[in-house]
Amino acid sequence: MGEVTMDKIVSLCKRRGFIFQSSEIYGGLNGAYDYGPMGVQLKNNIRDMWWKEMTQLHENIVGLDASILMASKVWEASGHISNFSDPMVDCKICKSRFRSDQIDLTKPCPVCGNKDSFTEPKNFNLMFATHIGANSDDASTVYLRPETAQGIYVNFKNVVASSRVKVPFGIAQVGKSFRNEITTKNFIFRSCEFEQMEMQFFCQPGSDDTWFPYWREQRINFYDKLGIRRDHLRWHQHGPNELAFYAKDAYDIEFLFPMGWQELEGVHDRTDYDLTQHSKFCGKTQDYMDPVTHEKYIPYVVETSAGLTRNVLMALCDAYEEEEITDEKGKTDTRTVMHFHPSIAPITVGILPLVKKDGLAEKAKEIEKALRADFTVFYDQSGAVGRRYRRMDEIGTPYCVTIDYDTMENDTVTLRFRDSMKQVRVPVAELVATMKAATKDYKRV
| Piece of the chain touching ligand ATP by CB under 6 A; list 200-208, 307-315, 373-381, 411-419 | 307-315
Considering beta carbons, is residue 12 or 149 the nearer one to ligand ATP?
Answer: 149
CA dist., res. 143 & res. 388, Å (int) = 47
| Piece of the chain touching ligand ATP by CB under 6 A; list 49-57, 189-197, 271-279, 319-327 | 189-197
Q: Is 389 in the site for ligand ATP (CB under 6 A)?
A: no
Q: How far is CA 41 from the centre of its chain?
A: 12
Contact with ligand ATP (CB under 6 A) among 309, 397, 412, 414: 309
DSSP for 360-397, please give it: HHHHHHHHHHHHTTTS-EEE--SS-HHHHHHHHHHTT-
- Supply the minimum distance, in Å, between the C-beta of residue 186 and ligand ATP: 10
| Piece of the chain touching ligand ATP by CB under 6 A; list 4-12, 58-66, 134-142, 258-266 | 258-266
Contact with ligand ATP (CB under 6 A) among 306, 316, 360, 395: 306
Instruction: Tell which residue, 225, 160, 223, 171, has the closest CA to residue 199.
Output: 171
Scanning 235-329, the segments in alpha helix (DSSP H) are 273-282, 308-319
Instruction: Reduce the DSSP state of residue 428 to 3 states and report it.
Output: helix
- Supply the minimum distance, in Å, between the C-beta of residue 67 and ligand ATP: 19
Instruction: Tell which residue, 30, 34, 4, 41, has the closest CA to residue 19.
Output: 34
Q: Is 310 in the site for ligand ATP (CB under 6 A)?
A: yes
Contact with ligand ATP (CB under 6 A) among 53, 147, 249, 318: 147
Q: Is 412 in the site for ligand ATP (CB under 6 A)?
A: no
Q: Is 179 in the site for ligand ATP (CB under 6 A)?
A: yes
Q: Does an H or E element contain 200, and which?
A: strand 193-203
Q: Is 181 in the site for ligand ATP (CB under 6 A)?
A: yes
Q: Is 272 in the site for ligand ATP (CB under 6 A)?
A: no
- Supply the minimum distance, in Å, between the C-beta of residue 319 and ligand ATP: 18
φ/ψ (deg, to 5) at 175 = 180, 175
218 Rama class: left (phi>0) / alpha (psi -120 to 50) / beta: alpha
Q: Is 318 in the site for ligand ATP (CB under 6 A)?
A: no
CA dist., res. 219 & res. 305, Å (int) = 10
Instruction: Tell which residue, 180, 181, 178, 182, has the closest CA to residue 194.
Output: 178
Q: Which residue's Cβ has the minimum distance to ligand ATP?
A: 307
Q: Is 263 in the site for ligand ATP (CB under 6 A)?
A: yes
Cβ–Cβ < 8 Å for 150, 78? yes
Contact with ligand ATP (CB under 6 A) among 170, 266, 353, 396: 266
Instruction: Tell which residue, 200, 109, 204, 191, has the closest CA to residue 155.
Output: 200
Contact with ligand ATP (CB under 6 A) among 43, 80, 190, 219: 190
| Piece of the chain touching ligand ATP by CB under 6 A; list 128-136, 187-195, 401-409, 416-424 | 187-195
Beta strands (DSSP E) in 133-184 are 141-144, 169-178
| Piece of the chain touching ligand ATP by CB under 6 A; list 225-233, 300-308, 362-370, 427-435 | 300-308
Considering beta carbons, is residue 310 or 341 the nearer one to ligand ATP?
Answer: 310
Burial of 12 (0-12, 13-18, 19+ CB in 10 A): buried
Give contact residues for ligand ATP (rule: CB under 6 A).
Answer: 147, 179, 181, 190-191, 194, 196, 263-266, 305-307, 309-310
